[in-house]
Amino acid sequence: MYENDIMNVDDYVAIFRCYTDMTIYVLGDGKNDNELILASVLDTIHDCFDQVFKHNIERKSLINNMTGVILVIDELIDQGIIMQLDPQIILQRISSKDVAIDGSENPAPSGGLMGMFGGNQAQESNSMFSSIFASARGQVSKTLAL
């Protein structure tokens, strides 16, 4: 089992876990949030990613499958409130849905969870990020033109 590290910065507490080529942080309000609860959130994230990526959690895998990563976090936390800490329930929920780029939910294809974390997912993620960056670039150019 990995060990979580704790760090206090200003009014925040950070629980983090280091991997070979990245670090995952969970931040909380240092005055109101309990470190043990934040560590449970990080453990749940690790357990979900560990199962999905078959014990090979690395930056490239997470970047190529960003939609699935966001789904795990979305099922875990909603507007700062911890909704679920059981990795099996989280993985079951995201395997039963497929989220389109526009955010609408559709039943998952036969590929299920593994289909969501592989194959065409990298192309969809690249397309989504390209669209977001194009929109941001347009907004910045409008702002600078004023």
Residue 49 lies in domain: 5-145
- Count of domains in the chain? 1
This prediction has a pTM of 0.64
Collapse the DSSP code of 82 into the 3-class scheme (helix H, G, I; strand E, B; otherwise coil) and give the result: strand
What beta strand segments (E) does the chain contain? 5-9, 12-18, 23-29, 77-78, 81-82, 97-99, 105-107
Q: Considering all CA atoms of the chain, what is the largest pairwise distance in Å, rounded to the nearest integer?
A: 54
Average pLDDT score over residue span 90-107: 62
Q: What gap in Å lies between CA 146 and CA 106, rounded to an integer?
A: 41
CATH number (domain holding residue 123): 3.30.450.60
Average pLDDT score over residue span 80-109: 71
Average pLDDT score over residue span 1-30: 83
- Is residue 108 pLDDT above 50, yes or no? no
- Which pLDDT score, from 0 to 100, does residue 136 have? 64
- Interval 35-77: pLDDT, tens: 899 999 999 999 999 988 888 888 998 888 888 899 999 999 9
User: For residue 76, which of 65, 87, 66 has the smallest C-alpha distance?
Assistant: 87
pLDDT confidence band for 101 (50 / 70 / 90): very low
- Which pLDDT score, from 0 to 100, does residue 111 have? 47
Q: Do residues 14 and 30 make contact, with C-beta atoms less than 8 angstroms apart? A: no
- Which pLDDT score, from 0 to 100, does residue 146 have? 46
- List phi, psi (to 5°) of 7: -145, 135
Which range, of 33-42, 90-99, 137-146, averages the lowest pLDDT?
137-146
**What rounded mean pLDDT belongs to the chain?**
76
Range with top average pLDDT, 49-58, 90-99, 122-131: 49-58
- Is residue 131 pLDDT above 70, yes or no? no
